[in-house]
Amino acid sequence: MNLTKISSVLLVGIALTACGGGSSDHQQTSNNPNIPNQPEKIECIEGIPKNLKTAGSGFYDEEFFWLNTDYDAQNNEQFVIYSNILKNGVLFQNSTNLLKNALPLDDYSDSIDYTLTPSKLETTNKSRLTSSGIPLGYILSQNNDSAQFVMFTDSCNLSSDFQVSTHIKRIDLSGKKISELFAYKVNSKGQKEYTYLTNNLVHYMIWEKPEIGEKIKNSQFTFPQGSFIGFNDQEIYNVPAITFSEGDNVDKKTLDDYISSHPLPTGESWKKDTMGGLNVLYAINSNTGKYVYGIDPIVEMKGNLYNTEWAIPGNFIQYISDYETGQEVNELYFNKTAIQTIADAINATL
């Protein structure tokens, strides 16, 4: 399944010094001296903090839902609906039974293994299915639709390098038809840019299964009062954050080999650097020295090179909008009444 870059690919983060708590259940404590409203030490068991408290109130106080597509055992693509809920400072994702023939939530065991920032390399491969769901990350604080999100790490690292300042924009759907979700504008190239549909949903409903998309679009279901959708219009990173997995290694042996076989466009150049104790290679603007978001960095670790994804300092949403078309690059979140209406419309097509 596609791990959200909330996790994923949605959000990346730095490092707390993990002090060994050394028990048989992999318990750790993380020093936490400069984060308001949090204990000085966080008890951490395989990425789950046991004494974390979310300050304030806001969007994450209520369960919200995520509509996406995934593949069944026969490799057929279909809709899935997952729920996201905040428990003791941890944001968990779970499967739901809102759709007919609902798929179970996949384990992320083959997902992201490492998150690298300028100060530290953290492992992230314990983001597995638990009795509460799959942990996506942590919410340190929230204020209405703004929140301080922290990327998941096995050591429950809450330091600033791993924090992302987020804001969710809400769209009121009360009394509106489902067709409202199919709104688009035509850009200067004559392409449709869908405002409220994610990439996966556009691909599935517009290109792969247009007959299903048309049935949903033309359904007579109306959103009840209080229904809304939301999407991130701000994800601000403090530092570069790189994510990669063991299976992402490339065939080149050295960074110089990679540079020689991957020339960059005029105006861009490769830069060798060190992050978290590892050698890295990324693209910069030759004139300004600024990071080039659209070119994936390369990380050297244990004698191998790894292809990665990254977020650079600043508003990640703005960067991706420069390389993607439309608002569909964002995750789309539904509250309970809105997702039930969507589920009813989808079930009517099955």
- The answer to whether 152 touches 47, Cβ cutoff 8 Å, is yes
- Residue 171, H or E segment: strand 163-172
pTM of the model: 0.85
d(CA 78, CA 1): 12
What do you get for the CA distance between the two ends of the chain, in Å? 21
The 3-state DSSP class for residue 105 equals coil
The 3-state DSSP class for residue 214 equals helix
pLDDT of residue 91: 96
Q: What is the dihedral of CA 77, 83, 87, 90, to 10 degrees?
A: 40
pLDDT of residue 32: 54
The 3-state DSSP class for residue 316 equals helix
Amino acid at 240: P
For the chain, the C-alpha Rg in angstroms (whole number) is: 21
Q: Digits of tens for pLDDT over the chain (350 positions)?
A: 333 333 333 443 322 222 223 333 444 555 554 565 665 678 999 999 998 999 999 999 999 999 988 888 888 889 999 999 999 999 999 999 999 988 887 654 446 799 999 999 999 988 788 889 999 999 999 999 999 999 999 999 999 999 999 999 999 999 999 998 898 888 787 878 888 888 778 889 989 999 999 999 999 999 999 999 998 889 999 999 999 998 898 988 899 999 999 999 999 999 999 999 999 999 999 999 999 988 999 999 999 999 999 999 999 888 776 665 444 556 789 999 999 999 999 999 98
Structure tokens at 93: 């994702």
pLDDT of residue 111: 65
